[in-house]
Structure 1
Amino acid sequence: MKNMVRRMGSLLLALLLVISLTACGNTGETNKGETSGNAVTEGAGKEAAGEKPVELTMAFLIFGPVPNDLQKVNDAINEYLLEKVNCTLKMVPINASNYSQQIDLMLTSGEPLDLLADGTITAFFNYTSHASKGQLYPMGDLLEQYGQGITDALGDYVSAAAIDGEVYGVATNRDLAARTSFMCRTSLLEKYNIDPDKIKTYEDLENVFKTIKDNEAGVTPAMAGQTANGTLFDSLGLSFDTNGDQLSDMIGVLLDNQKLEVSDYYESDLCKALAERAYDWYQKGYILQDATTNQSTAEDLVKAGTLFGYFGNSKPGIEKQESALCGEDITEIILSDTLSDTQKVTGFMWSIAAGSEHPDKAMQVLNLMYSDPVFVNLLDHGIEGTHYQMVDAEKGIINYADGVDASTTGYDMGVDFEFGNQMISYIWEGDSPTLWQDLDSFNRSAVVSKAMGFQFDSTSVKTEYAAVTSVIDKYKRSLGQGTVDPNTVLPEFVEMLKKAGIDTVIKEKQVQLDAFAQTNNIQ
């Protein structure tokens, strides 16, 4: 458990997302040895052995302070890269709080930048905007020449973020799908002899909530999401009663991810039923009563003993992750199929800046990030013997080096999922030895949206889009957390959305989705 605490910030982000696919094409490589794609990059490096080394600048997102030993690890990485591809790398970690603004500045100011973490999680990234403004280098030809390790790792999903047929960013190989689950305190399940495997329906959940409400004074049965802004629309709306696709923003969705028909979720029967259920749960005290003002995370409330459980996205290993965050044993109750869509895959990606003077060399380094375990583990874990030690070399299991722990290590950024191919990274002692195999199976088992790879460009309806977003910000949280009566507020919400122009946005999204389907021969 202690090794999971070190990764709290990054793992919270994995609600991600994040971030799996029946036809994934993911090779599921283990964390031992080198993949075939590494030979492509190494060959390119040998061809350039007589050339003067170049320095590349790589910007990436972190959630905490810059590690004290960043330069020491950067020096070790450069020693390795000089041998492999005849270049050095300047690592530029940027905190999540201002990552988007800093990257925009670097892309427009002419400041040196070659590789950058980008994506479609709008809290941190502006991938679509960067690509449309010509700020990202088209990667298609470079992938063909130098990116075999990337295509081996991602398979068909190497082009999940393509715009107008061109790839400007490649997803990191991590959890590329998600399922909806209810995470709850194991101790209370056992206390009341509740069998989690028998909880399949809303009625089953309500019976559990009633038991907790009636018998545990001061404990709220459920929270709508993992954060204060979370709503039942986000956590359950398109995954519990249907396998849908939010199409990134829920402003025009697929109620069925196997049918390319864009609908207004907020006008649907699904939304009405869920809003009514949220209100009923709120009236009965089943969900958080101060959700609209409480800023605590669900994990913090569980740790404080005032919350039984919460809804959220999950993946293999989620119980250990959430147990560490909550400070007690947590049980996952799976409520949906495993689903994958564009947003889950493209949440975290890597791009090459259009202004890079060495895009070919940038691609060679990026290829190593997906195919070379030595490079990946330097990025993820630092230097063996200094920051970590091998516990089981055959299985690739590590722990902190002697005399070092989570609070004293000089290098532990907790963003393993961000650096290329997580599945060739070492596994921390205490995690399942089969974690990466389990994650690969999880990705492969997903129901993949037919709109996988679709990116909506709202430019032509930007006025309506902004107005619709404003209306959603006003109504969604209160309706989705059950604090207002949907019989009166939901019709008002729908009417305001129509006045703002949601039908115009949905029509444009349908036009673009139809064109996407035709271009990609999707029936």
Structure 2
Amino acid sequence: MLRKSNVMLLAVILTLAVVLAACGNNNNNGGNASPSTAASKEPASTDSASSDAPAPSAADLPEVTLSLTFPGTAPKDEKKVEEAINAYLKDKINAKIDINMIDWGQWDNKINLAIAGREPMDILFTASWNGHSNNVAKGAFLALNDPNGKYGNLLEKYGQGIIETLPPAFLAGAKINGFNYGIPTNKELAEQGGVIYRTDVANELGLTTQLDAVKTIKDLEPILAVVKEKKPELVPLYLKDGENFNAHYFAKYDHLGDGQIDGVVMKNGTDTTVKARYDFPIYKETLAVTRDFFQKGYINRDAATAQLSPQDAMKAGNVFMGVFPLKPGKDAEVANAANLQGKLKQIAMTDRTVSTGETAGSMLGITTTSANPERAMMFINLLHTDKQLNNLLNFGIEGDHYTRNGEIITATANTPNYAIGSAWMFGSQFLNYVWDNEDPNKWALFKAFNENAINSPALGFTFNAEPISSQASVLNNIRKEFDPGLDTGAIDPGKADEFIKKMNDNGLKDIIAEKQKQLDAFLASK
């Protein structure tokens, strides 16, 4: 069993801002945290947080349209909900929102092209695992708390609700060179890898007892074999690039700020020596098991090129199991989005861990091509403080896409037409209503989820990619050439040797050296 230190996780998380300023004495791994305070604070009100600075009146603001771009499959009723949001925003900030959803499979390519082409965008989803640090180095995002920036300190001016309700650990952990280039979602801090499966199929095939005993990837083999034999119309295990057993949340790689730039330490270890992923035994061990599953026909044949997210794949109705980052009630969230209410269950298969990347694991940034950064910040602030707006964006129109009894909501016949499953992306999840098939104590469970989580030995550190941005771009293209096939079992693990050589020949050692230098400086300052 992995060692857990006796240092309180709560102390680490809530003092992360101080740690980043070179104070504190945390050692490597975490212990207990108070369920009541370890995660995020609820906003003080359901409408808007108070601020000493007077908010501008909507009547004094010219009407603008803001684009909101995030990954996901656009639902049938997107425009209907967009119109309802815009009507609501009229008296709030006199802005309209143009929702722009991009399918997960096309997300990276489309966003990279948009950033490279300097396309006008306003509010853009970003995350540590999705190239955030590298995109900051490319100049894609505004520094939101820079008093000397073109627009001043946008967070101070228009984000007081964020400052008052978002625990300091999130903003502190997401900083790059002292600035925030995205506003984190107020949600759980720990992460855990696992699978979500169809309970109706498991019950029919008599697999429930076996599933309850699953601890490792190899334990899944006999279960997947039965599903393949007895339910040939189903994909036993759905994988894709980025959503597999080698994903950071499953393999426990801490990329130190950007999941698309190699050079990691292990979140559940104690060593602070930065290495390439493939220098850890778990990398090739995982490739071998995944390849075995693929050759036995357990994994979707298009895994290396698949574009559907695991959630959308399960919604299609022909998938038994998928790999997911877990949290309390993740199975119910996916079930609601996939129209499989009461038919999904999750199995946790890794340690719960906390790294700086989790503080920046889901953010909304304002692009440097935005024509209205001030209004964009006002909108992000509302997502953290305005309960009606938050739930409208996440769940649609009350009485149409759901009915409500207090904080509990129930699906309607029209729920599938606006089931975006993106609540973890926007503002404060502590404003979200709870579906009637979820635990009514969901938010208390979120807070308790951080108890006994293991701290990454690099907790508090965020890598600045600017010194190696050119090498990082080259290596990211190489990664895209090899990772999808290797990580999903679609190509022989022997190809990893060619991958490793190509990475080393194109500057990986320079990147690892730069990461190590920055990490060592951070650790020495503590």
TM-score (structure 2 length as normaliser): 0.73
Instruction: Measure, in 1, the Cα distance between the counterparts of 2:479 and 2:409.
Output: 46
Select the residue among 193, 215, 224 that pairs with 1:200: 215
Over alpha carbons, which structure has the higher Rg? 1
Partner of 1:60: 68
CA contact (8 A) 1:226 1:299 kept: no
Map 1:23-422 onto structure 2 (within 5 A).
23=13, 28-29=40-41, 34=45, 38-40=49-51, 44-45=54-55, 52-55=60-63, 57-61=65-69, 63=72, 64=74, 66-68=78-80, 70-79=82-91, 81=92, 87-96=93-102, 100=111, 104=115, 116-120=123-127, 128-130=134-136, 133=139, 136-139=142-145, 143=155, 147-151=159-163, 152-187=165-200, 189-190=202-203, 191-192=206-207, 194-209=209-224, 212=227, 216=230, 218=232, 222-223=236-237, 226-227=239-240, 230-234=243-247, 238-239=251-252, 244-247=253-256, 248-249=259-260, 251-256=262-267, 258-288=270-300, 291-292=303-304, 308-323=320-335, 325=338, 327=340, 329-352=343-366, 363=377, 366-381=380-395, 389-391=403-405, 393=406, 396-399=407-410, 405-406=414-415, 415-422=422-429
1:38 Cα shift?
A: 0.7
CA contact (8 A) 1:150 1:158 kept: no
Instruction: Measure, in 1, the Cα distance between the counterparts of 2:233 and 2:411.
Output: 37
**Is 449-458 or 167-176 further displaced after alignment?**
449-458
Instruction: Measure, in 1, the Cα distance between the counterparts of 2:309 and 2:125.
Output: 26
1:474 is the counterpart of 2:481: yes
What SS does the aligned partner of 1:312 have?
strand
What SS does the aligned partner of 2:383 have?
helix
1:329 Cα shift?
A: 2.1
Instruction: Measure, in 1, the Cα distance between the counterparts of 2:314 and 2:371.
Output: 50
Q: 1:331 to 1:176 in 2, by over 3 A?
A: same
Q: 1:482 to 1:362 in 2, by over 3 A?
A: closer
Select the residue among 483, 507, 520 that pairs with 1:514: 520
What SS does the aligned partner of 2:95 have?
strand
Percent identity over the alignment is 25
Q: 1:320 to 1:139 in 2, by over 3 A?
A: same
Q: 1:473 to 1:228 in 2, by over 3 A?
A: closer
Instruction: Measure, in 1, the Cα distance between the counterparts of 2:209 and 2:263.
Output: 38
Instruction: Measure, in 2, the Cα distance between the counterparts of 1:50 and 1:489.
Output: 58
1:180 Cα shift?
A: 1.1
1:208-232, Cα deviation, whole Å (9 max, x unpaired): 445556x536378853x54367443
Q: 1:57 to 1:255 in 2, by over 3 A?
A: same
What SS does the aligned partner of 2:69 have?
strand
Instruction: Measure, in 1, the Cα distance between the counterparts of 2:139 and 2:490.
Output: 41
Partner of 2:472: 465
Instruction: Measure, in 2, the Cα distance between the counterparts of 1:188 and 1:357.
Output: 51
Instruction: Measure, in 1, the Cα distance between the counterparts of 2:381 and 2:171.
Output: 12
**Is 178-187 or 341-350 further displaced after alignment?**
341-350
1:480 Cα shift?
A: 2.8
Gaps of 5+ in 1: 1-19, 82-86
1:11-59, Cα deviation, whole Å (9 max, x unpaired): xxxxxxxxx987266664558x717971217x623xx569934546533
Instruction: Measure, in 2, the Cα distance between the counterparts of 1:206 and 1:412.
Output: 32
Instruction: Measure, in 2, the Cα distance between the counterparts of 1:169 and 1:418.
Output: 12
1:492 is the counterpart of 2:482: no
| Root-mean-square deviation over aligned CA pairs | 4.3
Instruction: Measure, in 2, the Cα distance between the counterparts of 1:357 and 1:305.
Output: 42
TM-score (structure 1 length as normaliser): 0.73
Instruction: Measure, in 1, the Cα distance between the counterparts of 2:166 and 2:362.
Output: 15
CA contact (8 A) 1:209 1:222 kept: yes
What SS does the aligned partner of 1:482 have?
coil
Instruction: Measure, in 2, the Cα distance between the counterparts of 1:293 and 1:49.
Output: 49
1:318 Cα shift?
A: 2.3
1:330 Cα shift?
A: 2.6
What SS does the aligned partner of 1:180 have?
strand
1:252 Cα shift?
A: 0.9
1:139 Cα shift?
A: 1.5
CA contact (8 A) 1:229 1:292 kept: no
Partner of 1:84: none
1:231-254, Cα deviation, whole Å (9 max, x unpaired): 432277623xxxx31341261111
1:463 Cα shift?
A: 4.8
